[in-house]
């Protein structure tokens, strides 16, 4: 059994064939999927999917790229949704310095607010980090994010940064990039970090793993991420599946 801990089945790219995409995932042994919403539209769709399917769960939050659009009403709505039994995390939140739509100070303030919200409702935080590692780790420390812990989604940092995040009670989630032939750093993380702290994800429809790189990603292909981690660690794929699944059930508090 595999769990795709971060997938955007709520994306427009699946509008035409979502039933088939879900069926392919189940056939591949992906028995649970966590759909992440990050604005009004995608949160609404994530909630619908979670209510329609027993094996789909939702994470709700506001993406840092769109921080400038987030209102207090939006945050109150997210807080109200957090009481839903199928909502298992707050996010994806964090910092994204690659895109410049939202100023850094606005991103940082919203990041802090969502960490505090997660602490208030007792859910893990799902972190998006792009070109902002130092500030992400600093804010996690300053806001005592270890109280809820969470997930470093699609982790792309160094082994040293991974260990810092683990010390802050965060799991390290690896996606398609670990399968890329030139992906030295993710492969080092997969090799050096204990399976006790690893999760697998697709971030579909983005970041499709090798040999599908550049195509629309889908949750069935999380198995390719597990296979590469198994290869790097010299372990059976079944063990990677079992351990990462146990980690996901624990961090999301899924029975």
Residue range 201-245, pLDDT digits in tens: 999 999 999 999 999 999 999 999 999 999 999 999 999 999 999
How far CA 78 is from CA of 101, 114, 116, 235, in Å, comes to: 22, 9, 12, 40
Q: Are 139 and 108 in contact (CB under 8 A)?
A: yes
pLDDT digits (tens, 9 = 90+) for 18-36: 999 999 999 999 999 999 9
Q: What angle (nearest 5°) sits at the alpha carbon of residue 9, between those of residues 6 and 12?
A: 130
pLDDT given at position 255: 75
Q: What are phi and psi of 253, to 5 degrees?
A: 55, 45
Domain ranges of the chain: 2-252
Measured distance CA(160)–CA(148) in Å, rounded: 22
**Which CATH architecture is the domain 2-252 placed in?**
Alpha-Beta Barrel (3.20)
pLDDT tier at 14, thresholds 50, 70, 90: very high
pLDDT tops 80 at residue 1: yes
pLDDT digits (tens, 9 = 90+) for 162-173: 999 999 999 999
């Amino acid at each position: 059994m595999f769990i795709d801990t971060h997938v955007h089945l709520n994306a427009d790219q699946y509008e035409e064939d979502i039933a088939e995409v879900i069926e392919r995932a189940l056939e591949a042994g992906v028995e649970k999927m966590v759909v992440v919403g990050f604005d009004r539209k995608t949160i609404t769709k994530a909630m619908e999917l979670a209510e329609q399917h027993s094996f789909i769960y939702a994470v709700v939050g506001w993406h840092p790229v769109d921080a400038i659009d987030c209102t207090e009403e939006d945050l109150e709505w997210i807080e109200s949704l957090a009481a839903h039994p199928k909502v298992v995390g707050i996010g994806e939140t964090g910092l994204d310095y690659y895109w410049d739509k939202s100023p850094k100070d606005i991103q940082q303030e919203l990041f802090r607010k969502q960490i505090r919200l997660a602490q208030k409702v007792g859910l893990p935080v799902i972190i998006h980090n792009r070109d902002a590692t130092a500030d992400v780790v600093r804010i996690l420390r300053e806001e005592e994010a270890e109280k809820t812990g969470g997930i470093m989604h699609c982790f792309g940092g160094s082994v040293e940064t991974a260990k810092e995040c683990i010390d802050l009670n965060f799991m390290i989630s690896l996606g398609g990039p670990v399968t890329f032939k030139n992906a030295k750093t993710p492969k080092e993380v997969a090799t050096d970090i204990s399976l006790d702290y690893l999760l697998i994800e697709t971030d579909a429809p983005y970041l499709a793993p090798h040999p599908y790189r550049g195509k629309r990603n889908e949750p069935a292909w999380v198995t390719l991420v597990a296979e590469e981690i198994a290869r790097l660690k010299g372990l059976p794929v079944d063990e990677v599946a079992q351990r990462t699944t146990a980690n996901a059930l624990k961090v999301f508090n899924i029975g």
